[in-house]
Amino acid sequence: MKSPQDLTVKIFADGANKQDMLEMYKNPLITGFTTNPTLMAKAGITNYEAFARDIISTINDRPISFEVFSDDFDEMHKQALKIASWGSNVYVKIPVTNTKGQPALGLIHKLASAGVKQNVTAIMTLDQVRDVTTALAKGPSAYVSVFAGRIADTARDPIPLMAASVELLRPYPQLELIWASPRELLNIYQADAIGCQIITVTNDIIKKLSIVGKNLQEFSLETVQMFRDDAVKAGFSLDQPELENA
């Protein structure tokens, strides 16, 4: 098994908690960052631009993605240009459609033609990958973000789609495929095995990198010890009198 340091896939930290982001910034395995409005709302952020500019003031040498949040393509375009102006390392996240299901391909192509670096997000079908790749083909560096974890949530194996996406992007060296919304550490190794360039990973999964290749006999014993310790701490006993039914 490869050590985390020997992986080819790049690991981007996914989140919007400033403390966690700055902690991950110190980790040499983390080569980029992504956020989205849902994560920012959960983190209690109320001033979108102030938060973004504050983070960029420190994380200014690795790619970081911030998403537009309008549902109107003209307004998305204005937001994208503003977000892109915040830093040369900023990628603008554009959803593959708006909430009405209308494809954002025209906007994506327009921004690519203007030299805006994009992270096209919420992709889940190979047709979407193909169409987005075409829209980005003549533009600058960009990410094609396929939500493999959500695909897996539907009981579909995402690996065939991800492998096919790698091939679709191969003629365009400025485009990189993101394995988004992973569900477990194993997904990092699966992404690496098929040649996916990037995987976005939450802080809880990143912390599991420390146990890659751990001896399973040792891990088993530690698990048994955990169960025993928690039972003792809880004061469980089968000698206690049974509670009477109310």
The DSSP secondary-structure symbol of 12 reads E
Give the model's pLDDT for residue 239: 86
126 and 164 in contact (C-beta within 8 Å)?
Answer: yes
pLDDT score, position 8:
97
The superfamily CATH assigns to domain 4-211 is: Aldolase class I (3.20.20.70)
Please give the sequence-ordered ranges of beta strands (E in DSSP) within 147-197, or none if there are none: 175-179
At residue 91, the pLDDT reads: 98
Question: Which one is catalytic: 93, 100, 110, 117?
Answer: 93
Tens place of pLDDT per residue across the chain (246 aa): 899 999 999 999 999 999 999 999 999 999 999 999 999 999 999 999 999 999 999 999 999 999 999 999 999 999 999 999 999 999 999 999 999 999 999 999 999 999 999 999 999 999 999 999 999 999 999 999 999 999 999 999 999 999 999 999 999 999 999 999 999 999 999 999 999 999 999 999 999 999 999 999 999 999 999 999 999 999 999 987 776 565
Q: What is the pLDDT of residue 241?
A: 73
Give me the residue spans of the domains in the chain. Answer: 4-211
Catalytic residue status for 93: yes
What lies within 8 Å, CB to CB, of 159 at 6+ separation is 190, 194
- Cβ neighbors of 28 (< 8 A, separation 6 or more) are none
Please report the pLDDT score of residue 1 as a whole number. Answer: 82
User: Residue 21: helix, strand or coil by DSSP?
Assistant: helix
Burial status of residue 211 (CB atoms within 10 A of its CB: 0-12, 13-18, 19 or more): exposed
